[in-house]
Chains A and B, each alone.
Chain A
Amino acid sequence: MRYWVGAVVALFIALLQASSIEQFRVLSVTPNLLLVLLVSWLVVRGLDDVLPMIAVAGVTLGFVGLQTPGLVLLALLPIAGLGLLREMHLIHSDILMMLAFVLAATIAYEFIMIASLMLTGGGYDVLAALRSVVLPATIVNVAIAPPVYMLMRFAKSPARRNRLAY
């Protein structure tokens, strides 16, 4: 892949996430389209392709999404760890792998966000954080993952796309 294409896509999705996605609140949380897209891209294209996108998306969302710059980047970093798991081929179904990765990445992302908040002096109720943020965010992200992944599959070569490995 030409990396600048990935960077432009990441930039656009980060802007979309900051400007528009918060309007679609489900279960009191904002769907994390950016994270789902990056995980889908990881499953479809691999770690080498997704790391530059994480860098661009994380920095952009940090600056335009009213977050602490760098924090989103840190929260997206566990996706790199999932990339290593992908290369171990523990799960042979791509869509199952993607759903499992979205679940794990969402939990890691929200935990880093909550830990940052707690370390800087706010909201020490861990159970409330799990109930109000982590659980709903996981459900919502996993729910939007299949359609995003279906779109991402077009980034695969036709031979790999058509094979029966869902």
Chain B
Amino acid sequence: MTARTLVWTGFIAIAAFVLMAASRLAILDPVENVTLNVTSPVQALMRGVTSPVADWVNNITDAGALSDENAKLRDENERLTSELARAREDAIQQQGANDLGAVREQFPNDVFVAGAVISRDSSSVRSIIAIDRGSADGVREGQIVVSEGRSLVGTISKAFDSYAWVTLITDPKSAVSAIVQESRAEGVVAGNYDASLNMEFVGQGAAVTKGDFVITSGVGGGYPAGIVIGRVSTVQKADQDLFQKVRVDHLASLPNIEHVLVLTSFESQKLEQP
């Protein structure tokens, strides 16, 4: 090993740790903001050039040219399913409210900011996207992001001046308090490494069946209640386990999502210890 090699290796190692520390302390936020602003047109151009090849390859690997039609149908299905779930939730809430003698609308003052996806996480580990709206547009960390069909997409994890990172619900760091709409069974919907969703901590006695809707419960204050996450795809029960294994299919087409809505009127609440 030459002295030059040693110097370069040492430089890279030190630079890696310095950059990570600076990122933690938010020192690099202005640099990141400028970098993505400058490179996003180049990235869009590169993406535009390579997307026909990607479509072609994906069509082959997806066994057919039906993927476009499938995407449209999926969007339509998401919208209709989401509306159905919201209507059911409204009916349930209405019933509960009637019982109490008062009707409370769920989100009386919803304010959304529409954003386009400009970049996606390049690793195979995380599920993060960047959108072209930032703190200058009223976007703040902790605000929630929904699809055009109004199903849950994720949370704003970092807001820069003119763009923001959205951690998708499929990210391994994501955890959302949720309930099964039909049985009101509570649990936590968590992301996995394979970008799928599990509903954890669902007790063995809870009635959960394939096709049930899963919606946010509002417990914990991180998300408003009643936003559709997805539908139960499989349920596994084993006598020796404390909890059921519930897998959930997200309604929004997250891998291909291009436009999102940020619910800027909602501020997540951090609950204090009693």
Contacts and interface: CB of A to CB of B under 8 A. Distances in A.
Contacts of A48: 2, 4-5, 8
A129 interface: yes
B194 to A, nearest CB: 4
A55 B5 contact: no
B50 interface: yes
A11 to B, nearest CB: 10
B34 to A, nearest CB: 9
Contacts of B20: 68-71, 74
Nearest to B38: A64
Interface in A53-77: 54-55, 58-59, 61-71, 73-74, 76-77
B9 interface: yes
Contact of B125 (A23, A24, A51, A117): A117
Nearest to A14: B122
Interface string A121-135: 111010011011100
Nearest to B17: A70
Contacts of A113: 123-126
Interface in B169-187: 171-174
B130 interface: yes
Interface string B125-148: 110111000000000000000000
Interface string A1-38: 00000000000000111111111111011101000000
A70 B58 CA distance: 32
A84 interface: yes
Contact of A19 (B9, B44, B191, B255): B44
Interface string A88-118: 0000000000000000000000100110010
A146 interface: no
A24 B19 contact: no
B113 interface: no
The residue in B17, B23, B165 that gathers the most chain A C-beta atoms within 10 A of its C-beta is: B23
A43 interface: no
A115 B215 CA distance: 31
B172 A66 contact: no
Nearest to A21: B122
B13 interface: yes
B28 interface: yes
Interface in B11-47: 11-13, 15-23, 28, 31-32, 35-36, 39, 42-44, 46-47
B9 A15 contact: no
A12 B36 CA distance: 15
Interface in A119-161: 120-123, 125, 128-129, 131-133, 136-137
Contacts of B5: 47-48, 51, 80, 83
Contact of B122 (A58, A59, A65, A123): A65
B193 A129 contact: yes
B172 A64 contact: no
A32 B122 CA distance: 9
Contact of A68 (B12, B23, B171): B23
B125 A70 contact: no
B119 interface: yes
Nearest to A63: B35
B54 interface: yes
Contacts of B50: 16, 19-20, 23
Contacts of A122: 171-174
B254 interface: no
B17 A64 contact: no
Given A19-B119, A23-B51, A128-B192, A64 B124 contact: no
Contacts of A136: 124
13 contacts: A18-B43, A18-B122, A28-B195, A30-B123, A70-B16, A70-B19, A71-B20, A80-B12, A120-B173, A125-B192, A128-B193, A129-B193, A132-B192
Q: Which 7 A-B pairs have the closest CB atoms?
A: A123-B172, A70-B19, A122-B173, A19-B43, A65-B122, A23-B54, A70-B20
